[in-house]
A and B are shown apart, each in its own frame.
Chain A
Amino acid sequence: MYKPLKKEIVSVLVDNQANVLTRVVSMFGRRGFNIDSLTVSATNDPTLSRITIVFNATERSMQQIITQTEKLEVVKSICLLNRENALYRELLLIKVNNTDAQRTGIKEIVDVYRGKIVDLSRGSMIIELTGTPEKLDGFLDMMSTYDIVEVCRTGLTGIESSPDYR
């Protein structure tokens, strides 16, 4: 009856005040949506913050959570981002153990993905990489043959690239 689940990204502009994140996130929680990733950040207006949420939804349930979230007093606007009209970035930090012999191989992969080695010691290194979630996934896949100690991702943030977004 419903279309299959797909990953949706919404960008929510909210009042910058205490509890605002709880209000928005609890709306998703109580309507049964599981959030994949979440970022909150300042905007150029100090009274407003932007929350970017990635979650799984069917077409109908997605409309429902958008209209429900829109009703919150703290929400100024909400829009659904899609691949065609928005840019997304996510930041990844990864710590990898390595031997001297492995180091050049890792560096090659990092260069192809245009990442940076931000910390290097004799036995391990920390790599920083920015990009779309797909790019980060691809990089992690390439790195999976190495001894990964820890992975941190910031979650997604996004911005509309054209004025005629929905």
Chain B
Amino acid sequence: MRLTGSQIVAEVLLDHSVDTVFGYPGGTALNIFDELYKYSDKIHHYLTAHEQGAAHAADGYARSTGKTGVVFATSGPGATNLVTGIATAFMDSIPLVAITANVPDNLIGRDAFQEISITGVTMPITKHNFFVNRIEDLEPALREAFQIANSGRKGPVLVDITKDVTADSIEYTSKAPYELRKNPQPDGEVVKKIAQLINEAERPVIYFGGGVAASDAGTELNRLIEKADIPATYTLMGAGVVGSDNPHSLGMLGMHGSISANRAVSQADLLVALGARFSDRVALNPAGFAKNAKRVQVDIDKSEIGKNVPVDEATICDVREFLHMLLPLIKEQKREAWAAQIQEWKESEKIVHYEGEGACQLHPDEIVLKACELTDKDTIYVTDVGQHQIWAAQYVKHEKTRRFITSGGLGTMGFGYGAAIGSQLGNPDKRVIHFTGDGSFHMNLNEACTAVSNNLPIITIIMNNSVLGMVYQWQTIFYGKRFSNTTPERKTDFVKLAEGFGAKGYRATTPEEFEDAMKKALQADGPVWIDCIISREERVLPMIPAGKNVEDMIID
């Protein structure tokens, strides 16, 4: 069948079972959007307020469903507005296909209206990108985009199509997606050695990250933890794989990780890193990280092995395939002394409320814990970036994979609302709670119009301390309280603003008011914002300063 380039875009999406896409139209994308109109019974395109919101929505959709996120934008500013969203997905290895239109090929390179070389711009933040200016290259480029985005370590791919190609036509036959590239296989000898190390270790710790979620290895990992009686700690990207009430869970590791996780890693005689990359927010001082331990790393990306911290044993493969090979070699045992030590550390953990001058009646942990208490285990928690993000990571009762959606690697303020919209559209039966701060929310709260238009019952919980809290905290501790540009004295009335958008807004200054607002929000059928007033002096604790060790941890 002879199809136009725009029809081919739609058909390739259908061949990849894509029924939900996000984006924003524009001049060069008119042909594509004309087809999206005709295909609207099969592919639902969700219009956002801004292309960045669309990119975050596609990302949130991918993170919460495990499918590939797809985002459309027009040339020039439409394409450049995607950049932060693509970079966010790149840093967290999220499969995303971004499709941009460009000016017609005869205008390329002439600084035409809304012309930008988006393939040049996105080169360092995509796994690969394609510039398509010939109709015969279009179908293979789109198919490869899906293949590359999902093979090995996942990530974003961009396909830029000139407008003339979207109108040109060529023969097309529907076919199955390209098979994913074969993963490297675990090295049997290394797996045996790792099994032996685990069996013989006295104080082993598992440290896992986003790779475990990406390879759906949660079941296998939990089996290993139980069988070998090993405590496990996770990065921000690994939250949810091991249930929060599992006694083996040490909580999060790193800069704002738990006391028990950081102490366990520093005292461990064996550290098994699974799908994690020893980032500078985990291995704050790479030379001192797990320095008493033999270190083992399993990752699908060869370039991650030993990148930040040298390791003693490593195998390059999918974590799930590794665990399948490892589990039969693991001796069932109990490590009572180690468990007792960890229990002692856990008991030393405490929640610190700010009670000094300017204290408020509502505290961050009360907000998060109450929100969890009032919602079920399938709830998806989405965050922006900053103090509220870490409070959410620390206090949310993580129960399942793909239920904690947060920008880890890039740390993108403004990620949350778009991602919450994508998560809600990908999971219409689940509750979506969006934790944000007044700083992050101001960046992309314009997406409220998207949530309202689509009647999405997302509950946005604003931890409002009237300052840019995380930077304010660093300025408090390390910069002599010189609050440079973190105390904006904004007068935004979030309740009125919510109403202005056609959403509902509540304000809470006490735990009782918050509970009341949450209960009302849970009954609403559209978006609700709850403006929670907290003190600007609340700190994210514990904290290990950048470049320091567990001994330097600030506890209260």
Contact = CB atoms under 8 A, between A and B. Distances in A.
Interface of A: 1, 18-19, 22-23, 26, 30, 60, 63-64, 67-68, 70-74
B303 A26 contact: no
Given A18-B131, A64-B307, A70 B302 contact: yes
A73 B157 CA distance: 11
A64 B131 CA distance: 28
Given A60-B306, A64-B307, A73-B148, A26 B127 contact: no
A74 B144 CA distance: 13
A1 B285 CA distance: 14
Interface in B281-337: 287, 301-303, 305-307
A60 B128 CA distance: 25
Given A18-B131, A73-B128, A73-B148, A68 B123 contact: no
B149 to A, nearest CB: 11
Contact of A26 (B123, B131, B307): B123
Contacts of A23: 123
Contact of B119 (A19, A60, A63, A68): A19
Interface string B366-389: 000000000000000000000000
Contacts of B120: 19, 22
Contacts of A64: 303, 307
Interface of B: 119-120, 123-124, 127-128, 131, 148, 287, 301-303, 305-307
B131 A67 contact: no
B411 to A, nearest CB: 18
27 contacts: A1-B287, A18-B131, A19-B120, A19-B123, A22-B120, A22-B123, A26-B123, A26-B124, A30-B124, A60-B306, A63-B306, A64-B307, A67-B302, A67-B303, A67-B305, A68-B303, A70-B302, A70-B303, A71-B127, A71-B301, A71-B302, A71-B303, A72-B128, A73-B127, A73-B128, A73-B148, A74-B128
Leading 7 A-B pairs by shortest Cβ distance: A67-B303, A73-B128, A67-B302, A68-B303, A30-B124, A26-B123, A64-B307
A22 to B, nearest CB: 7
Nearest to A66: B303
Nearest to B152: A71
Majority secondary structure of chain A interface residues (helix, strand, loop or mixed):
helix
Contacts of A73: 127-128, 148
A78 to B, nearest CB: 12
A24 to B, nearest CB: 11
Contacts of B301: 71
Contacts of A67: 302-303, 305
A23 B123 CA distance: 7
A51 to B, nearest CB: 16
B311 to A, nearest CB: 12
Contacts of A60: 306
Nearest to A71: B303
A64 B128 CA distance: 19
Residue from A1, A63, A67, A72 having most chain B Cβ neighbours under 10 A: A67
Contacts of B124: 26, 30
A67 B287 CA distance: 22
A26 B287 CA distance: 29
B303 to A, nearest CB: 4
A18 B120 CA distance: 11
A63 B304 CA distance: 11
Nearest to A69: B303
A19 B124 CA distance: 13
A31 B302 CA distance: 16
Nearest to B127: A73
A149 to B, nearest CB: 36
Nearest to A19: B119
Contacts of A63: 306
Nearest to A60: B306
A63 B287 CA distance: 19
A91 B246 CA distance: 66
A138 B82 CA distance: 52
A137 B301 CA distance: 40
A56 B360 CA distance: 56
B304 to A, nearest CB: 8
A61 to B, nearest CB: 10
Nearest to A65: B303
B383 to A, nearest CB: 28
Contacts of B131: 18-19
B121 to A, nearest CB: 11
A12 B443 CA distance: 43
Contacts of A70: 302-303
B155 to A, nearest CB: 10
Contacts of A1: 287
A144 B125 CA distance: 46
Given A26-B123, A72-B128, 10 more contacts: A19-B119, A19-B131, A30-B124, A63-B306, A68-B303, A70-B303, A71-B302, A71-B303, A73-B127, A73-B148
Residue from A60, A63, A71, A72 having most chain B Cβ neighbours under 10 A: A71
Nearest to A74: B128
Contacts of A71: 127, 301-303
Nearest to A73: B128
A37 B63 CA distance: 42
Contacts of B305: 67
A60 B303 CA distance: 11
Contacts of B302: 67, 70-71
Nearest to A29: B124
Residue from B124, B148, B303 having most chain A Cβ neighbours under 10 A: B303
Contacts of A22: 120, 123
A68 B302 CA distance: 8
